[in-house]
């Protein structure tokens, strides 16, 4: 079986990895360089505890109110057209308690094997940077603490195995001396892990090349009909709609930013989520700190706006005791692919024999990349849709 995978981000490469391991002939077509889309400058968390879909009761109103602040983590372009209205309508309809709960349960179920899947990549010879130091949410206020304590507790009710512990400010500082005196409490999830995301993409591409797969870079696919293959997987992230035909399902690109810098001062030991700042930090090998966040709905627009990078750094300042960036290694913007109901779209495309889709992972593509790859390989090679994929089928938008 010959399979063409369009898109060399973590999702496409994970699909190619699983397909190749199962014996398929695989070619990945990547428009630029592998792993340079959304899979590059993110925080790299493998975070089953944060499985909550974005559409949730009260989220829309809260987000719009938050836009009034100078460093708001959300900005919406006034230029977005009818497709954005369709997306917003879908988002609003997905924000009921029942649908939020169902989406959370379905996502938690997908994350069950997330750590094991990364262990499997390692065992197969994929090289990447992995940190198993846990996640710590730090809060400056009681509401900021309650929001994430509730989110993780709901994830536990939905099947997340944790453990999770709400701790005081002093306990948080003891666990992570990088935190400032302003932190009043935290939520500690010690089993969460993180990777350096660039190393995962590069590791997967190197594995594919060494194991009989093909990875074509600077190879933009203009039309799916041009591909000679028995099966085609569209894993083109925020650009997937262009290839599939925009009307297939409502998806928007949610732009995030990050800064990665060598640092002086105390570096965080954990993957830190800074609650009120709505940013995450990851400490990588070489004393590098990456701070990432922001959710700008601007359409397909990767322009890097220095003001938004400044907003991230400012948002983190109150939480960190004495961290100062020295040399900046990367300033980055990337587009999270976000379907209107906040859940990935994975599986066969109806009415197009041999066409499959794996996209829409929003803020969870690193966590869910490897399991997506495994399940897509089963759909294609065994011609069955595993039960856990049912909530993620494209048909839900029909």
Ligand X SMILES: Cc1cc2nc3c(=O)[nH]c(=O)nc-3n(C[C@H](O)[C@H](O)[C@H](O)COP(=O)(O)OP(=O)(O)OC[C@H]3O[C@@H](n4cnc5c(N)ncnc54)[C@H](O)[C@@H]3O)c2cc1C
Binding-site ranges for ligand X (CB under 6 A): 6-12, 29-32, 36-39, 42-45, 47, 220-221, 235-237, 239, 243, 256, 258, 292-293, 334, 336-337, 359, 361-367
Task: Please state the closest distance from residue 31 (CB atom) to ligand X, in A.
Answer: 3
**254-273 residues labelled b (16+ CB within 10 A) or e (exposed):** bbbbbbbbebeeebbebbbb
Looking at the Cβ atoms of 29 and 91, the one nearer to ligand X is 29
Looking at the Cβ atoms of 4 and 158, the one nearer to ligand X is 4
Instruction: Record the tokens describing residue 234, joined without a space.
Output: 């569209």
Task: Please state the closest distance from residue 218 (CB atom) to ligand X, in A.
Answer: 9
Task: Please state the closest distance from residue 41 (CB atom) to ligand X, in A.
Answer: 7
Task: Please state the closest distance from residue 232 (CB atom) to ligand X, in A.
Answer: 11
Looking at the Cβ atoms of 173 and 267, the one nearer to ligand X is 267
Looking at the Cβ atoms of 173 and 294, the one nearer to ligand X is 294
Looking at the Cβ atoms of 297 and 364, the one nearer to ligand X is 364
Q: Using the 8-state DSSP alphabet, how is residue 381 labeled?
A: H
Task: Please state the closest distance from residue 38 (CB atom) to ligand X, in A.
Answer: 4
Cα–Cα distance, 258 to 363 (Å, whole number) = 14
Classify 76 as helix, strand or coil: strand
> What does the longest C-alpha to C-alpha distance in the chain come to?
60
Cα–Cα distance, 391 to 388 (Å, whole number) = 7
Looking at the Cβ atoms of 173 and 249, the one nearer to ligand X is 249
- Please give the helix or strand (H or E) that residue 138 lies within, else none: strand 135-139
Cα–Cα distance, 367 to 293 (Å, whole number) = 16
Task: Please state the closest distance from residue 30 (CB atom) to ligand X, in A.
Answer: 5
CB-CB neighbours of 32 under 10 Å: 12
- In Å, what is the CA distance from 162 to each residue of 11, 101, 128, 305, 392? 25, 18, 24, 37, 24
């Amino acid at each position: 079986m010959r399979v063409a995978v369009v898109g060399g981000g973590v999702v496409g490469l994970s699909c190619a990895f699983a397909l190749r391991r199962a014996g398929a002939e695989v070619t990945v077509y990547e428009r630029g360089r592998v792993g340079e889309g959304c899979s590059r400058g993110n925080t790299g968390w493998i975070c089953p505890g944060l499985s909550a879909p974005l559409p949730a009761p009260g989220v829309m109103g809260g987000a719009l109110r938050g836009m009034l602040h100078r460093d708001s983590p959300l900005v919406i372009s006034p230029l977005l057209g009818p497709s954005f209205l369709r997306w917003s309508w879908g988002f609003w309809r997905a924000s009921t308690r029942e649908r939020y709960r169902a989406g959370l349960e379905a996502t938690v179920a997908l994350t069950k094997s997330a750590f094991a899947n990364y262990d499997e990549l390692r065992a197969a010879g994929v090289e990447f940077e992995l940190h198993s130091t846990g996640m710590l949410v730090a809060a400056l206020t009681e509401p900021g603490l309650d929001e994430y304590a509730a989110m993780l507790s709901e994830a536990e009710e939905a099947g997340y195995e944790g453990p999770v512990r709400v701790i005081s400010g002093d306990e948080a500082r003891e666990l992570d001396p990088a935190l400032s005196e302003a932190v009043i409490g935290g939520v500690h999830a010690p089993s969460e892990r993180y990777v350096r995301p660039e190393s995962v993409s590069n590791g997967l591409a190197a594995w594919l090349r060494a194991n009989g797969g093909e990875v074509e870079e600077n190879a933009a696919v203009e039309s799916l009909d041009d591909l000679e293959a028995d099966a085609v997987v569209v894993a083109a992230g925020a650009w997937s709609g262009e290839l599939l035909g925009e009307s297939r399902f409502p998806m928007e690109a949610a732009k995030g930013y990050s800064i990665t810098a060598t640092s002086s001062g105390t570096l965080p030991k954990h993957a830190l989520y800074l609650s009120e700042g709505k940013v995450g930090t990851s400490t990588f090998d070489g004393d590098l700190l990456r701070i990432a966040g922001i959710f700008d709905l601007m359409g397909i627009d990767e322009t890097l706006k220095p003001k938004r990078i400044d907003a991230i750094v400012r948002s983190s300042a109150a939480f960190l005791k004495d961290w100062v960036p020295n040399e900046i290694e990367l300033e980055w913007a990337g587009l999270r692919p976000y379907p209107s109901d906040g859940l990935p779209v994975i599986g066969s495309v109806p009415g197009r024999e041999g066409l499959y889709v794996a996209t829409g992972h929003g803020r969870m593509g690193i966590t869910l990349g490897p399991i997506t790859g495994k399940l897509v390989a089963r759909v294609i090679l065994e011609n069955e849709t595993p039960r856990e994929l049912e909530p993620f089928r494209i048909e839900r938008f029909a």
